[in-house]
Amino acid sequence: MEQRRRREDEIRKLNQELGNRAADLEAINKELESFTYSVSHDLRAPLRHVVGYSEMLQRQASSLLDEKSQRFIRTILDSAKKMGNLIDDLLAFSKIGRSETRKTEVDLEQLVKEVVAEIGQDTKSRDIAWKIGALPVCKGDRSMLRLVVVNLVSNAVKFTSMRTQAEIEIGCVNRNKKEVEVFVRDNGAGFDMQYANKLFGVFQRLHLAEQFEGTGIGLATVQRIIHRHDGKVRGEGAVDQGATFYFSLPKAQESAERTADAP
Amino acid sequence: MTTLASILIVEDDPNDVELTLMALEEYNLANEVVVTRDGQEALDYLHRRGQYSNRSEGNPAVILLDLK
């Protein structure tokens, strides 16, 4: 009896410590969020001036400058705009961490078709074979999940740009009662599985900027949103063999029952 | 003859003021452009008080300001 009580005391104490630590972590995370936000917000003003004044200089003095000096101005502008894109992405990324999720039932199939139709508008010049499988209704924040799908689908479009016939498939696997795992598969550039752990990091890029443009925040955004939905992300691929990205989400109640009834 | 309404800019950063003025200049607008440095000064302008108590009547056509 004595021993049992001592053990219970110990467990209580450990639980208390764990609770304290979780609270500390949450506070640190919040602080980091507001830090990221203010850094990126305050960085924009001076950058706007760099772009604004370079453009004025370009307009006002271009007839006086030789080709080399004009190139210098163009380089300043290009770099400043690139930095602007990075800051915008970082801001958007930090907003995802801070904003509340509004969870409703989301028809994934409809969402995916919507996104593909939208992105298809910009890729009319390319030969892309789209394949969209049946997708269930799940529970989540529609606008956030839309961002996940937009990021994954535009990645697939981007990394298949060198294929004369691109194939992009969106479907779902591993259906069970509570969870759905959606995948986006392409036959594009792929990646080395050795670096799979870097895929979802902020500003991590596995390809050269000259080869595929982008800031390196897309998959970090995907991961953050899916984590906020208590889901998981993963990627599979091989160099020049295409890539598949998976994300899991909790199913909506009704949809879960429907699947359970299926033979 | 009706007078043109003014354009009111509320901005404390001199660089942003200059860039905005240059951008407006390009459109050759005949409207008077008024620059105030903060919200208080902008309100003084709108209510025609303080240094703006003698300005002619009428609200600006546009107010350019950033809100946090």
B22·A53 Cβ contact <8 A: no
Q: What are the distances in angstroms from CA A154 to CA A122, A141, A150, A218, B66?
A: 10, 20, 6, 9, 33
Q: What is the pLDDT of residue A78?
A: 92
Contact with chain B for residue A129, Cβ under 8 A: no
Indicate yes or no: CB of A52 within 8 angstroms of CB of B13: no
Does B13 contact A45 at a Cβ distance shorter than 8 Å? yes
* Nearest one of A243, A262, A34 to A156, comparing CA atoms: A243
Task: Evaluate if pTM is beyond 0.80.
Answer: no
Whole-complex ipTM: 0.73
Report, as ranges of residue numbers, the positions in chain A whose pLDDT lies below 50: 255-263
Contact call for B15 and A56, based on CB within 8 A: no
According to DSSP, residue A64 is labeled T
Contact at CB, B19 and A45, closer than 8 angstroms: no
pLDDT of residue A209: 66
In which residue are the tokens 């924040």 written? A141
pLDDT digits (tens, 9 = 90+) for A161-203: 989 999 999 999 866 778 889 999 999 999 889 888 888 887 7
Which of A193, A199, A230, A231 lies closest to A216 in space, CA to CA? A199
**Minimum-distance CB partner of B22 among A45, A49, A56:** A56
**The pLDDT value given to residue A232:** 92
pLDDT at residue A250 in the model: 84
Window 7-36 of B: residues touching A by CB (8 A cutoff) are: 13, 15-16, 19, 22
A148 CB contacts (<8 Å, ≥6 apart)? A221, A222, A225, A226, A247
Q: What pLDDT score does A263 carry?
A: 42
Chain A interface disruption, residue of B17, B20, B22, most A CBs within 10 A: B22
Instruction: State in Å, rounded, how far the first CA of chain B is from the last one.
Output: 39
The predicted-structure confidence for B13-60, as pLDDT tens digits, reads as follows 899 999 999 999 888 888 999 999 999 999 999 999 999 999 988 999
Query: Cα distance from A62 to chain B (closest Cα, Å)?
Result: 17
A56 touches chain B (CB under 8 A): yes
| pLDDT score recorded for residue A198 | 85
